[in-house]
Amino acid sequence: MIWYENDVKKLEALKGTLPYTPETIFYGSSSIRLWENMYEDLKPLHPVNLGFGGSTLAACVWFFDRIMEPYSPRHIVCYAGENDLGDGRTAEEVYIFFRQFQACLQKRFPGVPLTYISIKPSIARWNLEKTVRYANQLIKEEIEKSDNQYYLDIFSHMLNANGQPEKELYENDGLHLTKKGYLIWKEVLLRHFEQFFKIS
């Protein structure tokens, strides 16, 4: 986990730099970290961006207590798991990492709602489509057992009419999101918060 150290130190230095008390933690990989307009796009949620580049769901578990130390959130949103699959992990292993993540939440933030953003259909990893779908299914089924955890489907919103990843939503690397990609995420997230938490 040593290769994440610089990013984690930057997140630790973020403490107290926002002009408000964060209410919604956004945690996970570069899809979170690279959301440049998050603070404006998701302003009603009073967010803090705690994404760190290349992070796996396993890394999110490893650094959880350290990164979360300063915060008392009302909600946590997580996007992670895709890099685990990209590194060759199985859907079942990602599911186990997610269960460990749930345990971290229960220990540190009992009762705080979690919204898990489904693993997206990246062009560069389309060869893993079936594995991604299976990992999403396992996590969705686990979340449905909980009263205060939510599975947010982003996968289906990022496909074109032919069932393929929509190219304009991705950068040239076929992995990271364009502004149009983040617009999709913004709309889906805000709709979710409006529906379940009456935040608009």
What is the phi/psi pair of residue 27, to 5°? -130, 145
**CATH H-level, domain 2-197: superfamily:** SGNH hydrolase (3.40.50.1110)
**Residue 60 · residue 38 · CB < 8 Å:** no
The per-residue pLDDT for 16 is: 86
The per-residue pLDDT for 105 is: 97
Which residue do the tokens 């393929």 mark? 164
For residue range 96-153, what is the model confidence (pLDDT) as tens digits? 999 999 999 999 999 999 999 999 999 999 999 999 999 999 999 999 999 999 999 9
Q: How many degrees, rounded to 5, is the angle at CA 138 between CA 132 and CA 143?
A: 120
- Model pTM? 0.96
Q: How confident is the model at residue 93 (pLDDT cuts 50, 70, 90)?
A: very high
Q: How confident is the model at residue 54 (pLDDT cuts 50, 70, 90)?
A: confident
Domain boundaries, the chain: 2-197
Q: How many degrees, rounded to 5, is the angle at CA 182 between CA 176 and CA 187?
A: 150
Higher pLDDT residue, 62 or 4?
62
